Each structure stands twice: as C-alpha cells, then as structure tokens.
Structure 1
C-alpha cells in the first residue's frame, strides 16, 4: 500500500536507509582534492604520444599509467553522479557531476591519439611484444580488439576533434534527465479512498498495479498528459540525440548506428534483427496472454492502463524491506554459500539507497568502481515487483564482485551485452523458488502472472523498444524528420502490433517513448531481451542440478571483458548467435501461460 503523505526530503531519510559514499570519498573536500590531483596528471598521458609504437616497454608503461588515471576518474565520476542522483535538485552535486564529465572529456581528449597509434602496429609485432614484455599479456584482448576496429578508427587529429565533441554530445541526454527528474512534476490523483496522492516516477507502476481501475486510469492519464504538454520539446531532445548518434556513425564509417553500437562489443547485427524476428513469431502467444488478462479481469475492453494490475485476486501483504532481503536470500540459495555471503555483506553495510525522496533519480540501478564495493539505487515501495528489483540490482552488483575479484582493471568492465544476464537470472531463480512454495491456487496463479509479466516487460516490451529505436534511427539516416507526430505514430503502431486485437491502444500511450531514459543510450534495451534469454538458459541448468552448471555460471560471472562477450557465453554453454536461447525462453512463456490458463 502506498503511503498518501508527500515524498520526504533527502534530509528526512534515516542514514541506515541510504548508501554510504565514504568508501569512495570521505566528503566533498576529499573529492575536490582528488579531482585536482587527477587533473594535474592528465598531461602525463599526452606525453606518451608517438612513443607507444616504439617499444613494448613504452606501450606497457603507457597502458599502466592510463589504467591508474582512469580508475581515479571512474571513482570521481561515480561519486559525483551518485551524489547528484540522490537529489538531482542539489546544485552543488550538479556542479560536481559536470566537473566529472568535463574531466572524462579532457582525459579522453589527451589520449585521442592512442587508437590511431596502436593501429600502426601489426599483429605480428604485437605477438613479438607479448613475448618480450610479459606485462602486456594483461592487455592482449584490449590490443587485439583495437586492431579489429581499425577500419573505424580515424587519424590522430580526427580522433582528437571527435574527443573534443564528447562533452557537447551529452547535451540531449542531460537536458532530458534534468527535465525528467528535477523539473517535471505530475498532478495528484484520488487514491480511491478520497485522499490525494502525488503521482511520481517511483509510484507510477505501483498505482498502475492498483485493483481500483479508476486509480489506474487517472494515474495513466495524469502521467502521459503531463508528458504530452511538452511533446514538441521532448521530440526535439530525442531527435537531437538521434542526429548526434548519426554524426558519430558516419564519422566512423559505419553503415548504420545499430552497427556502430553493436560493433563496439563485436556483436553481429543479426543478433539484433533475429531477436525482433523471433519475438514476432511468438506474438500470437502475447495475444493469448492479452486475451486471458481481459477474461480474468472481467473487462469488456482491455486498455493500456490495465496491463500492470495483477489479474489474480490475491492479497499479498506489504513487504517491508527487511523481509524483502530475506526473500531474496532464500530465492538465490541455489547460487551457493559464497554468493549468499556477498549478498549479506551488501545488505548489512549500506550498499543500498533504499527509499524515494524529493529530487531523487527515478528507477533503480547498480554501479561499481573497481577496487570498491558496488552500490544500488532503489526507490523501494514495498511490493513484490520491488523485491524482484532488489534481486535484479544485486545481481548486477555481485556480477561486479565476482569479476573484480578475478580480473585486472582493464579486463573487469564486462560489456553491456552481458550486463543484464546476472540480474535477470536472479529474478528467474527467485520466481521459481516462490512458485515452488506457493500454498494455494490463488498464490500460484498470482506468481505465474508475475512471471508472465516479467516476460511481457523484459522480452516483448524491450524488443518493442528495440524495434522503435531501429525504425527511428533508420528514418533519421534516410533524411526523414523525427517530429512529435512521427514518433507518436511509430510508437502507437508498434503497440498495436505487439499487443494485438484484444487491446485498446489508448491515444496517451503514443507518448510513452518520451519517458524512456534508455532511448538516450541507443541500442541498449535489446540487451534486456537477449539477457533474459541467456539468463533463463543458465537458470534452468542450475535448477535442474545439471553437473557443471553452477561452475559454468560462476565462470561467466568472473569473465569480465577478458574475451569477446559472445565467445564468453559460448564457452559457458549459451550461444547467442543462434535463435535457440530466445526461442527456448519464449517457450517457457508459452508453458507458463498454459499453466495459468489451465488453472481457470
């Protein structure tokens, strides 16, 4: 149950319910001192220009120095952004964040010559240098991957020019984030009991889960009418981001923005397109789900504001955060004692910023700087979905723990493509555990519905988002203007395709594209869909007790970016270059849907 009082200020939140940033920096003074020191060292990197191609010793010395400086800047960046995210209206924090972004820009500008100079080396020479300087072995994958991208790396002068544009390139995303988190406010609605309740980012989904249809409808309209009032501004921000991405795509001689983003991690574009095609082939299953939802809710018409409310009349109590931690620990027991010990360490030592406060960034995330423990931002509201969010974000965090304990800094930053696998595997293990414990038909049905909703939100919905990105970026590349009307038409048509004939596609949903922060990090969201496919592949093997399955999974968690992510997954038993993992995951959706249909 949502409390009807106003959202508290940051100062009103108990410290034990907030994350402790002091392991990063003791205070803002320590941040400032570290910032000045880091800034003063950047010229050291520039001094290696023209030297790293001269000898193995020079190359190794440079790469070590770069790692040392990047690690410090990572820490500064993380501290500033977390400090800002806990209260986006804090102008001091905003200034620190801008400082950190500027420092990243200056550092990468100072090393913009790096790739062009490395590309003057041959693979044969590098192989000789690996033997001559053993320390370079640590950088083998990084160096080989740099050579792989030779066709898309420009001259030193051109790379320097592009690096100088980096700070400016954050403009559309920064504008959207400030508008969405600091300036945008939604009206209050009736909570169904005659009391006003403020609609917020953090409360929206909880309101949409309400059994009271009028509450759902009012929250839906309050949110999207508010976005609609700024539709032209938001379209301009989105269009500017797409144009920016197209500029970098063409500058680096890629055929499409999709190719540019996927090639960064050596992902074939076929992985993206075959995901969309595979999901399209299972849309009849989604239509069955929509039909069942309509039937069980007893509605003549199913509207877009009816897609989050549980379709089963099961009164799950409010889940205090302490209970949520216990539920997660029980559900993830198949991952072993070492995994549970790390979970408890995070729960007991203020890794997590738990509750919503005024100005706090919406949503949830996990972040980690090499050499320190991870952090998790939540906006916990006390429902089952938030328990899954806790399991999800701790999956990210423990992925970082395993990787950082195994890999060196340069090989620790696992790619975005695999980043959602550990988090989603946690969710799958948790729901499987809860289904086994279900004590009644109603509880089982409720949990099956939750699992189906996870598929709907993660595999179907994120693929729909991915298709929206594919269409809009292709239109911009073809010279078509991305006006508000165009974006809304594309988005509404996709909702019609993905939800089918039994869903009323309300006009308001056409504005949903305007509230998706991930669209400002293009060609990211498809990885939620590929991630759930790989996660279920791992989860099913672990739960079945397959010999070696847990060891394979821990090896995956520990792999970092020491090899191409596609190859890492293959070596652990999951081949994402085929349609098999996505098809198998969608078959799980089919099976669960059949179980729920049979219960009624």
Structure 2
C-alpha cells in the first residue's frame, strides 16, 4: 500500500477535479454574492403572493437560488474534506453555512402561507399559470400535510418550542461526542491508555480475547456510569415525539415517522414479524461462531472478531476498479461506461492523506456530477467501499441526468438499494471466481457480518423504537429498568440463547444516536432486503429486472419510494422481499458452515 505524506504526492488521476464546479474562487464569490441578492428578493414575496403568476415567480427564483447554493456549499465542503486542517477552506464552509441560515429565514414564510390556502385556490393558481405545472406535484405533496398543520397561533407556539424540543437530542449528542471519556486499555507497550472510538472498532475485532474483553468493558463503562442521565434524554426524546404526533393529529408516533415517505404502518410491522419468523439461521450463525472460536461461553465481545484469519489480499486501486467493473457487468454496458467516466474524468478522491476527512461518501452536485470521497487502503474492505459508493454515485448521476432539479434528489429510503445491489453482485462475483478455500470463507464471513449489521441489528433497533414509543403512548414510565428489560429481551431474541449476557449487554440502547431520530433505522433493513431481491434477479439474467432497475436509478424522487421499488419487482407491502432476503442469508450461513 502506498502511503502519502501530503496531498501533492498523490497522482493527479487519483484526486477529484473541483474545477468542474468552480475553476477559481472568484466564481464561488460571485455565486455567493448572487445568492445573497436572491435571498433578499425572496423575502419580498412574504405577503406578496396573490395569484398564479406571483407564486410561479417566487418558486422559480427559489429553485434558481437552490441550484447555486448546491454548488457553493458542495465546493466549500469538498475543499474542507481534502484537508480539514486548512483554515482558509474552513472559513468558506462557515460562510456557506451562515448563508444557509439566511436563505432558510428568507423562505420560512412560504409553507405556512401555502397551507393557509384552500385546495381550490391553489388549483386555480396552477390552472392560471402554465409555469406552475412544473411545480404542481411538489405543491400538492406539501398540501398532503395540511391536516397535520395547526392554526397559525398554535404553529407559532410550536415553532418557538422547537429549540426546547430538540434539547434531548442535543444533550445526548454532547454527552456522546464531547463529555464521554472511555475507560483505559492496555497499549502495545503495556502502559494503560485511554480508549477512543476508533481504537474500539479495531480492538473489538482483535484475535486476542482478553484484549476484546478489556476494550468492551472500557467502552461501556461511561454509559453505565451515566445510565440515568442518558435514560432521561432518551425518555424525553420519545415523549416529545409522542406529544408532537398527538398535537399534529397523527394516529401514532410511528405513523408520523412514516408519513413523509408515504409508507403504511404494515410495512414496518411486516419487516419485524417476517424477520422474527425466519430468525433461526441467525441463531445458527451464532452457534457456528461459538464453535469456530472454540469457546465454552460466547459473549457480546466475541461477536465482531472475524472467523477467518490470515487472509490479507493486496488489491491496488486500479485492480479494485477493474474488479468492480467486471463484477457489475450484469448491470449492462451503459452502467459500466458511466463508471469508467467517473475514473477518467476524476470524480473520485482516492487516497488517504494527512488531514483528509476519514471514511467514504458520495455527494451528488446537481448540474455538475457526483463526487466520491474514499480513503483507499488497497485491501478487500476498500474494494467493497469503492463498489458501494459508486452505486450511490451512478444513482446520483442517472437521477440528475434524467430528472429535472425538483425531482433529481432521491430519498434515504431508496438510497441504500443502489449501493447494496452493487455489493451483492461483487460478493457473488468474487465467490464464483475464487478457488482458495480460506479466501472463500473470508468472503462469506465478511458478507454474513455485513448482513447481520445492516439488516438484523437494524430490525432489532426498529422494534426497540416501536415498543418504547407504544409504552409512552400508553402513559407507561420510561426509565433505565424499562429500557434495559426491552433491549436485553430483544438482544436475546435476535442473537439466540448461545450468548452469555454480560451486564453491559442490556445497556446497548444507551449508545445509539439513531434513537434520537425516530423510525429511521428500519430504512437500512428494507433497502438491504430490496437490494438482495433485485441483485438475485439480475444474476439470474432477468432482462426485465435489469431494464426496470435502470429506470429506477433514473427516477430520483419522481414517485414515492414504495412505488419506485414496485417498478423493480419489489413490493415491500408484502412479506416476499423480506423472505427472499432471509432465504439468501440462510444460503450464506449454510455455505459458510460447509466451508468450515
């Protein structure tokens, strides 16, 4: 693996080309200035929209501003992420963020105004102005919320309470990111050092069991120490959500959470019920893990260590890109040509360098193209990360190319489908061509653990959210004991009876930030199941599925997520996609069992 001391050492071909957004900072400054002027112009429409023509001119100006702001913000963010230590870049991002607040303030009047209109008046406006046809679906979608909007006075009060209602989430964020100090672990030289999150993710996979146990105990130590405080923040967040749902006249907090994506409650419940009905292979995998590790007692800190050791493949970036393109051949020539453009035209920033943002992401910039950040390490994980992010990238590229600005951005609900389809095609390709039994075992272990984390764990979290919100709706108390009891029962139910539960297990709820963004995690599981379903059909050479899937990638948010997925043959209102995904998991566990 090549190590770079600084960004200038990285070959030009492996750095993204931000000149596609702005060739110089003078252009950035000009768009920044233009947005400020447009924001002031938008303010003038407050109280000034009286007909179809004025409504159209407001919406058109707002969209033009949104287009420019997308470029201004993206450029500043990408520049910072190249090297987070550069204060000049940071100042541009700070300015872009401040501008975002001003723009939001300029347009905050619009939604209350729109929902104050009668449906009849809005339709008259649309009929009288040809240009409003473009905005019609978006306007009517906003109107869908009308029955959940309160009177102007009540909305004003709720708006003023907004900051107070967000306190539990902010408090947990401060506890979790700023205040928590983890316990100590033994360093390489035998000295005690303070554990960090980054260290924990490595140590919990360490082959030495004492190292894992020590890291596990140290990691949970502060959460147990602050259990009552964190239980209060979570309880308050849940109660706030339940109260808001009630005030806005949703049947339940769950239905409020599903409303935006127009997902019926049955989809959420079906995900949980179908998963639990087919949980046996998950328990079987736990038994295999215990046997493979040769343990008398399997504990939570044994669940992340890879079961196949000594498999270190060196895969250069060029080789990884070529392997990805070969693996994704079932998606057709158009798809592969787009990927080749990504590499040739420098949409990707490949190498890890000092100060560069960690991790990986895809950022679609409408009117330009996607940008993909990597920290490529020339290994198997990096190959999977590349393939995952390129799935998002092609989704962004196709949606932007085939959709107008208003519907080009796809929802989180469908986002993980495109990336996971790619990963499933990659794992199947690698397994098919790999003859080395150790590497095959390693690949199967990798995918099973990913399946477990992205699907089973998220379904377990989703059920925890459902149960705790229902208790709050029934007026039952929420405290440490209640959270512990629910979480421990679910952990055992999903992972099986082979695991001996340490005291720490039942406190798992206390470290999950997603619980402060309610009814969100289930989307990881539904997206994963949908992707398994689609990839299986693609590997069977189903031309119809291929055509429909490519259309899906071109669809952006032109329809609701469930409707878009139905066009690919995935109907999440039925148990079938979840059952098919769980069938695939069963096959993976059986194949792994045979290999060992």
Give 1:228 deviation, angstroms: 4.4
Give 1:470 deviation, angstroms: 2.2
* CA separation of 1:256 and 1:401: change in aligned 2, threshold 3 A: same
Match of 1:351 among 348, 352, 366: 348
1:216 matched to which residue of 2?
A: 212
- 2: CA distance, partners of 1:140 / 1:304: 52
- 1: CA distance, partners of 2:512 / 2:347: 29
Give TM-score, length-normalised by structure 2. 0.85
2:302 matched to which residue of 1?
A: 306
1:456 aligns with 2:452: yes
Match of 1:413 among 409, 416, 427: 409
Match of 1:575 among 561, 571, 576: 571
1:557 aligns with 2:553: yes
Match of 1:260 among 243, 256, 260: 256
SS at match of 1:214: helix
Match of 1:278 among 261, 274, 279: 274
Farther off after superposition, 456-465 or 68-77: 68-77
Give 1:545 deviation, angstroms: 0.9
* CA separation of 1:454 and 1:106: change in aligned 2, threshold 3 A: same
After superposition, residues 357-396 of structure 1 pair within 5 angstroms as: 360=357, 364-378=360-374, 383-396=379-392
Farther off after superposition, 443-452 or 233-242: 233-242
CA contact (8 A) 2:7 2:353 kept: no
Residue by residue over 1:72-126, the C-alpha shift from the partner in whole angstroms, topping out at 9 and shown as x without a partner, is 3444554565666677888888887676555445444443443444345566666
- 1: CA distance, partners of 2:395 / 2:213: 39
Q: What is the aligned length?
A: 594
Match of 1:588 among 561, 581, 584: 584
Residue by residue over 1:36-64, the C-alpha shift from the partner in whole angstroms, topping out at 9 and shown as x without a partner, is 54344324333334554x43323322221
Residue by residue over 1:357-382, the C-alpha shift from the partner in whole angstroms, topping out at 9 and shown as x without a partner, is 67956x54333232233334455565
Residue by residue over 1:446-503, the C-alpha shift from the partner in whole angstroms, topping out at 9 and shown as x without a partner, is 3222222222111101111212222333444455565455544443332122111001
1:145 matched to which residue of 2?
A: 141
* CA separation of 1:178 and 1:186: change in aligned 2, threshold 3 A: same
Gaps of 5+ in 1: none
- 1: CA distance, partners of 2:11 / 2:513: 28
2:63 matched to which residue of 1?
A: 67
- 1: CA distance, partners of 2:115 / 2:557: 20
- 1: CA distance, partners of 2:377 / 2:195: 13
Gaps of 5+ in 2: none
- Larger CA Rg, structure 1 vs 2: 2
Farther off after superposition, 314-323 or 392-401: 314-323
Residue by residue over 1:229-255, the C-alpha shift from the partner in whole angstroms, topping out at 9 and shown as x without a partner, is 555555555455445544543443323
1:45 aligns with 2:58: no
* CA separation of 1:211 and 1:550: change in aligned 2, threshold 3 A: same
Residue by residue over 1:215-237, the C-alpha shift from the partner in whole angstroms, topping out at 9 and shown as x without a partner, is 33333334333554555555555
SS at match of 1:366: strand
SS at match of 1:567: helix
After superposition, residues 421-460 of structure 1 pair within 5 angstroms as: 421-460=417-456
Give 1:30 deviation, angstroms: 7.0
CA contact (8 A) 1:217 1:305 kept: yes
* CA separation of 1:26 and 1:335: change in aligned 2, threshold 3 A: same
Farther off after superposition, 505-514 or 590-599: 505-514
1:566 aligns with 2:562: yes
* CA separation of 1:11 and 1:432: change in aligned 2, threshold 3 A: closer
Give 1:342 deviation, angstroms: 3.1
- 1: CA distance, partners of 2:152 / 2:217: 52
Farther off after superposition, 235-244 or 497-506: 235-244
* CA separation of 1:552 and 1:242: change in aligned 2, threshold 3 A: same
* CA separation of 1:145 and 1:344: change in aligned 2, threshold 3 A: same
- 1: CA distance, partners of 2:30 / 2:46: 27
Farther off after superposition, 501-510 or 289-298: 501-510
* CA separation of 1:282 and 1:382: change in aligned 2, threshold 3 A: farther
1:534 matched to which residue of 2?
A: 530
After superposition, residues 98-497 of structure 1 pair within 5 angstroms as: 103-119=99-115, 132-156=128-152, 158-159=154-155, 189=185, 200-202=196-198, 204-228=200-224, 231=227, 234-235=230-231, 237-239=233-235, 241-246=237-242, 248-313=244-309, 315-347=311-343, 349=346, 351-352=348-349, 354-355=351-352, 360=357, 364-378=360-374, 383-479=379-475, 482-483=478-479, 486-497=482-493
TM-align CA RMSD: 4.0
CA contact (8 A) 1:102 1:167 kept: no
SS at match of 2:527: helix
